[in-house]
């Protein structure tokens, strides 16, 4: 499989996580108890940033893409774990997108 095809699913999963993280971030800021969501807010920003960076690195065929995806996996796992603690639909959607990103990036890192 070519690197470009190998990265395609991972890039798509990263962009889905970026979108879900951004929606969660903005939605958390509109919730009643922002203090309860502080860590969620922080992690969704981290997740959005690293997923965007990872997608960019893969689209450039960066020689560091696998390393960047390893960090992406760590941050997405942390974000998903935090979002899963909250009942809001935007948090649950974010957790699901992050879990999908972890799964796809883990597959990519293993075959890269």
Give me the numbers of helices (H) and strands (E) for the chain, helices first please.
4, 0
Residue 60 φ/ψ, nearest 5 degrees: -90, 0
Residue 64 φ/ψ, nearest 5 degrees: -100, 5
Tell me the pTM: 0.90
Q: Is the pLDDT of residue 12 over 70?
A: yes
User: If you average pLDDT over each of 6-15, 34-43, 76-85, which comes out highest?
Assistant: 76-85
Q: What percent of the chain has pLDDT over 90?
A: 77
Other Cβ atoms less than 10 A from the Cβ of 96: the count is 16
Question: Mean pLDDT over residues 79-98, rounded?
Answer: 97
Angstrom distances, CA of residue 68 to CA of 22, 29, 47, 64: 20, 28, 12, 6
pLDDT band at 4 (very low <50, low <70, confident <90, very high): low
Average pLDDT, the chain: 91
pLDDT given for residue 46 in this prediction: 97
pLDDT given for residue 86 in this prediction: 94
pLDDT band at 7 (very low <50, low <70, confident <90, very high): confident
Domains contained in the chain, CATH given? 3-111 (1.20.1270.360)
């Amino acid at each position: 499989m070519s690197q470009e095809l190998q990265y395609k699913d991972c890039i798509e999963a990263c962009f889905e996580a970026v979108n879900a993280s951004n929606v969660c971030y903005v939605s958390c800021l509109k919730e009643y108890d922002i203090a309860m969501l502080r860590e969620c807010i922080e992690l969704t920003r981290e997740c959005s940033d690293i997923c965007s960076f990872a997608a960019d690195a893969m689209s450039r065929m960066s020689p560091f893409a696998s390393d960047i995806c390893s960090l992406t996996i760590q941050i997405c796992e942390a974000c998903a774990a935090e979002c899963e603690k909250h009942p809001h639909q935007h948090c649950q959607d974010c957790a699901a997108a992050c879990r999908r990103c972890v799964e796809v990036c883990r597959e990519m890192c293993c075959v890269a």
